[in-house]
Amino acid sequence: MKLETMRKEIDQIDDALMTLFKQRMHVAKNIGALKRIAGLPIEDSAREARMMQMRQEAFADESLWPYFEKWFNMLVDMSKEVQR
């Protein structure tokens, strides 16, 4: 596979990630509004731990897991920021 072909593939993946990121942030913002109305805290460490455990079990690639975990933690942190 040529370098340029692989770069185009990365570009397509990045486009898909951008779309999903925006979708996730909009949903997180709406969740924040619902939490405010219900008087619930933004932080839910038990849910975050369950989410991470489920993701780790489904991920099935130990060599890449540390990178995904770092990325996912940043994503969760940004989701909490947009909920505020």
What is the arithmetic mean of pLDDT over 17-37?
Answer: 98
Judge whether 59 and 65 are in contact, CB under 8 Å.
yes
Query: Residue 22 is encoded by which pair of tokens?
Result: 């925006």
| Domain 3-83 falls under CATH 1.20.59.10 | yes
Judge whether 37 and 20 are in contact, CB under 8 Å.
no
Does residue 67 have a pLDDT over 90?
yes
What is the Cα–Cα distance from 71 to 23, expressed in whole angstroms? Answer: 17
Domain boundaries, the chain: 3-83
The model's pTM: 0.86
Overall residue count recorded for the chain in this entry: 84
What is the arithmetic mean of pLDDT over 59-66?
Answer: 96
- From residue 29, alpha-carbon distances to 25, 34, 47 in Å are 6, 9, 17
